[in-house]
Amino acid sequence: MTEHFIDRLLAAIEAKHAPVCVGIDPVAERLPEEFATRANSVRAAADRVEAFGRSVIDSVAPLVPAVKINSAFFEAFYEFGVAAFYRLIEHAHERGLLVIADVKRGDIGSTARLYAQGHLAPPAFADVAPQRIPDAVTLAGYLGAGAVRPFIEIARATGRGLFVLVRPSDPGADRTHEFGEPRRFYQHMADLVREWGAGDGLIGARGFSCVGAVVAPKDAHSTRALRDLAPQTFLLVPGFGAQGADAEACRACFRADGVGAIVNASRSVIYAFERADLSQRCGADWRACVAHAARELAAEMADVLA
């Protein structure tokens, strides 16, 4: 069978000394000048975010093990953006990266089966390239086991993975995730994810389940408690950079042995050319700024974990 997703991810993290991934979330308003267009056509708009995404992937591919491509930023361009989304997954694979498709789908079992077909299953069609299928997806598990089970079956059979939302980075999500007394809703979700990930054939050679969790760093105490609660759960950590968390805050998402998580940064890397210090350093070469920010991110995380 194909190698376990977390084993593949850990090997890539270690090869690049970078427990981080870069989030591809391009918005038209912030693209470098070379992607400017005056055409008010949806195809032209989708093309330019794709071209930008492609360049970002090329710039960070030697530096990080994985990219996380956020579906929303492509769905804004309807089927044209969705086509670009899949082409970017293929492109990242060609560059040797692992790909997490940030789709956050979540629906009842009979519907989740179809979402899993579109977003994690090997293609059932002769004319669809297998490379367009990501290595892992993000999911919402709020609709219960049925929402994630079809994805787990595929992950088990194909060496892929999933990350279920447990503690989102947006402070507005506290209103739902801190619900409950004394046990909080996010702790309940963490329990469910641990349970879903404990099934036969789901744990890899390195001791982690292919069912991971999305856990943003909040206060170190509660983050560490969450980390300790589920030692086999690999964490995808949002919130770095533009969303306010630093490397030190992210440290609590890793186990004491320095593994167990991957930190994502999106805006702070892909728009690094907006930073005065970097644009001064790299001049008009926006790709150099992006690469610099990715290298910096990897070094910062490696440092606090050392």
Does 106 contact a second copy by CB under 8 A? Answer: yes
Distance (Å, whole) CA 160 – CA 154: 7
From candidates 8, 48, 55, 115, binder to a second copy by CB under 8 A: 115
Strand partners for 262: 236
- Would you call 104 a catalytic residue per the annotation? yes
Residue type at 32?
P
Residue type at 298?
A
At closest approach, how far in Å is the CB of 281 from a second copy? 27
Complex with a second copy: residue 112 or 262, whichever CB lies closer: 112
Q: Which two tokens stand for residue 229?
A: 């609660």
- Spell out the residues 6+ positions from residue 290 whose beta carbon is closer than 8 angstroms to its own: 56, 59, 60, 269, 270, 272, 273
Does 297 contact a second copy by CB under 8 A? Answer: no
- Spell out the residues 6+ positions from residue 240 whose beta carbon is closer than 8 angstroms to its own: 246, 247, 250, 263, 264, 265, 268, 297
Complex with a second copy: residue 98 or 116, whichever CB lies closer: 116
Complex with a second copy: residue 40 or 280, whichever CB lies closer: 40
- The answer to whether the beta carbons of residues 220 and 227 sit under 8 Å apart is no
From candidates 3, 14, 34, 79, binder to a second copy by CB under 8 A: 79
From candidates 2, 3, 15, 27, binder to a second copy by CB under 8 A: 27
Site residues (vs a second copy, CB under 8 A): 25, 27, 40-43, 45, 70, 72-73, 75-83, 86, 104-112, 114-115, 117-119, 123-128, 132, 140-147, 165, 168-170, 172-176, 179-180, 185, 188-189, 192
Please identify every residue annotated as catalytic.
Answer: 104
